[in-house]
Structure 1
Amino acid sequence: MLLAVDIGNTNIVVGISNDEAWTDTWRIQTLTGRTPDEYSIILDNFFEQSGQRYNQLDAVIISSVVPQLTPSFKSILKQKTGFVPLVLDGTLDTGIAIRGREPKTIGADLLADAVAAYDHFGDSCIVVDFGSATTVMAIEAPGVLLGGAICSGLKITADAIVERTAQLPQIPLELPEKAIGRNTQEAMQSGLVLGHLCMVEGLIERMQKELGQKVSVIATGGLSTTIAHHTDYFDAVDPMLTLNGMRLVAEREKK
């Protein structure tokens, strides 16, 4: 069984995979101020409540965009499992080539998304990750991550506008019925949520023109299920895409 730990800026997603099925997944709020002991206790509680055992694992992989936490989780997981976790980065043989000047600097989550998206479609594609940042990345056959766009995430943008204005309230991050909002909440939902979706649709269109063809598009990330179903630009929605990419990389390393 595989233990995958995806350390993001907002949440840490922990998953256990038995073959291709994710039998257990948990989310932890990302707090750099937590001690390794605190994270260790949280993991132990998850395992105890689910009936899982560390000695049943045969592989561990970490994807991290929070460098402060990576060493702590490497140490914690090595202590619990007895072997050194694989840390996903641009230097690994993932099956995806990186067309960029600095492969080492690419976000591990973006790389995992690219691996899983290309595996899903088997051809050129675009992956949109609605996370702390919203990313739109283009992958070209036969498996080349060309690059993409990194945008301010929807929740971060919404929090910023509320914080920097005197009268605008926190709102549910849901699409309004119409673009013309009839009150403050609807107007904010139109500008923030619908506007965010329009931005993503525009980026998809521009990238497809640059690719020279209409390619398949997959959405993932915490807000993907909230937003993606309100547009026909997505051919698939997979909230587990990042973990699936990590699983594919771990399987490749075993061979």
Structure 2
Amino acid sequence: MIIAVDLENKFTTFGVYSSEKSKNLKLISRFSLKTDTSKSTDELALLLKLMLVDREISLKNIKSIIISCVVPDMVPVYTEISKKLIGKAPIFVSAGVKTGLNVKCENPKEVGSDRVARAVSATHKYEKNLLIISASSITTIDFVNERREFIGGLIIPGIDLWQKSLFKETSKLPKVEIINTDKVLGNSTIRAMQSGLYYGYKNSIMGILEDIFKEYKLDKSEIKIILTGMYADFLLEDNASKFIYEENLALDGLKIIYEKNLK
């Protein structure tokens, strides 16, 4: 068994992969914890241990831990956690780790390991040109061509950060629930804010996709759009036929990277 860890700014997602019933590693359990830099190594190690015990997963069966981390302060923390739980340091997706991906950016080392993991997973499953959308607190859209070349992407605030800025940067606007709305125009302040968040976020993504198609002269029929992330539902509502939803895209990418480096 291995544990794949997708450590992002808001949540840390864990995937336990086992090869007990097949030659290939398969996802047998998935769970998340809030990313909390205030918690000690001991606290986080105990939480992780309890989550595994609750799922009847024995630490003695865990062979390795592989991590994508975009929160630098958590690197030493999870290094110690790995040593405490399985007796050795984890594998971090970073320079020197084989991915099978050709990152064509100005400085490949600057590309987040989360984006790399998602791209590895997507290119492993699909052969066409790919646009990969991660609809999380930090939303990314990346373009990977059919030759597994990571061309680049863009990074924008997630819908929850839009919500937070409306509430924190104004004197009178309240904090509202983020929901799908069926009317563009709201007939109250709260409904107007909810509509603005939903349609503003959704249409910004769709507009950016159109700009990418135009700039790179991409044939829409020859490209697959892969969608993942906690806010994917806001984009799937009216566009389910355009997107391929992959809940475990980053975790599967980490599993694939682990297997590549075994070889």
TM-score, shorter chain, exceeding 0.5: yes
Aligned equivalents of 2:214, 2:224: Cα separation in 1 = 13
Q: Which residue of 2 aligns with 1:23?
A: 28
Offset at residue 9 of structure 1 (A)? 0.4
Is the aligned partner of 1:179 residue 2:184? yes
Offset at residue 233 of structure 1 (A)? 6.8
Aligned equivalents of 2:201, 2:175: Cα separation in 1 = 16
Q: Which residue of 1 aligns with 2:134?
A: 129
Is the aligned partner of 1:103 residue 2:108? yes
Deviation track 1:90-136 (CA, whole Å, cap 9, x = no partner) reads: 54220111011211111111111111122222121101101121111
Q: 2:236·2:243 contact (CA, 8 Å) conserved in 1?
A: no
Q: Which residue of 2 aligns with 1:82?
A: 87
Aligned equivalents of 2:105, 2:52: Cα separation in 1 = 39
Aligned equivalents of 1:40, 1:138: Cα separation in 2 = 36
Secondary structure (helix, strand or coil) at the match of 2:237 reads helix
Secondary structure (helix, strand or coil) at the match of 2:17 reads strand
Q: Which residue of 1 aligns with 2:21?
A: none
Aligned equivalents of 1:156, 1:51: Cα separation in 2 = 36
Q: 2:45·2:84 contact (CA, 8 Å) conserved in 1?
A: no
Secondary structure (helix, strand or coil) at the match of 2:193 reads helix
Is the aligned partner of 1:211 residue 2:216? yes
Identity of aligned residues (%): 25
Offset at residue 139 of structure 1 (A)? 0.5
Offset at residue 225 of structure 1 (A)? 2.7
Q: Which residue of 1 aligns with 2:245?
A: 237
Q: How does 1:1-255 map to 2 (within 5 A)?
A: 1-18=1-18, 19-213=24-218, 214=220, 215-232=223-240, 234-255=242-263
Q: 1:89·1:111 contact (CA, 8 Å) conserved in 2?
A: no
Gap runs ≥5 in structure 1 = none
Aligned equivalents of 1:187, 1:246: Cα separation in 2 = 40
Offset at residue 202 of structure 1 (A)? 1.0
Q: Which runs of 4+ in 1 moved over 6 A?
A: none
Offset at residue 232 of structure 1 (A)? 4.8
TM-score, normalization by structure 1: 0.94
Aligned equivalents of 1:197, 1:180: Cα separation in 2 = 15
Offset at residue 83 of structure 1 (A)? 3.0
